[in-house]
Amino acid sequence: MSGFPTKVLAATDGSPQAQLAVRTAVDLASRTGAELHIVHVGELAAMYHPEMRGYAYRHEASQEEARRLLDEESDRLRSAGANVTKTHLRMGRADVEMIELAEELDADVLVVGSRGLGGFRRLLVGSVSDSVVHHAHCPVLVVREKVVRSNPGYPG
C-alpha cells in the first residue's frame, strides 16, 4: 500500500472487539475515500462432512445464521451513515477465509479485532488475528480495547 488505502476490508464476528474494529475501519474508509468491504466467516463444525446424514441441513443452518449476523452488522453500519461497498459471507476457518478474500479484493488493509488474550491463553486456543498478521499479503490493523490495569507495574 502506498499512500491512502483504496480498499479496506473489515472482519466481524459480532463480538464487541469486532464491532470496535469495524468502527475503526469505517472511520478509516470515510477519511480516505476508500471502498469499505465487510466480511463475516461462518464456522463449520469439525464433524461436518458431505457424506454425513443431515450435512446439508446443518451447513444451511450455519450459513443462515452467519448471513443473519452479517446482514445485521451491515444494516447497523448503514443506519449509522457508513458507506459499505459490499458485504462478503465466507464459511470455513476465519483466518484462512479473511486472508483469501483480502487477496481476491486486492485490499490495501485488513482490519480485525482482538480479544487481547495473554500469551499462554493464546497458545492454548490460538488467535485468528495473530494468524492474519503473519499470513496476509497486505497490512493488518489489529484493534483492541484499551485495558486499564489496577496495577500499572503489571505487564500482562
| 119 in a structural domain | yes
- The secondary structure of 100-141 as a DSSP string is HHHHHHT-SEEEEE-----HHHHHHH--HHHHHHHH-SS-EE
pLDDT given at position 85:
96
Question: Could you tell me if residue 79 is inside a domain?
Answer: yes
Q: Going residue by residue through the chain (156 aa), what tens digit of pLDDT does each one get?
A: 557 899 999 999 988 989 999 999 999 999 999 999 999 999 876 555 556 665 666 778 889 999 999 999 999 999 999 999 999 999 999 999 999 999 999 999 999 998 755 544 444 445 888 899 999 999 999 998 876 666 666 565
- Please give the pLDDT value at position 4: 87
Domain span at 107: 7-143
Q: Is residue 155 part of a domain?
A: no
| CATH, residue 19 | 3.40.50.620
At residue 127, the pLDDT reads 81
Position 154 in a domain: no
Task: Give first-to-last CA distance, the chain, whole Å.
Answer: 33
Mention every residue, 6+ apart, whose C-beta is less than 8 A from residue 13. Answer: 40, 41, 69, 94, 113
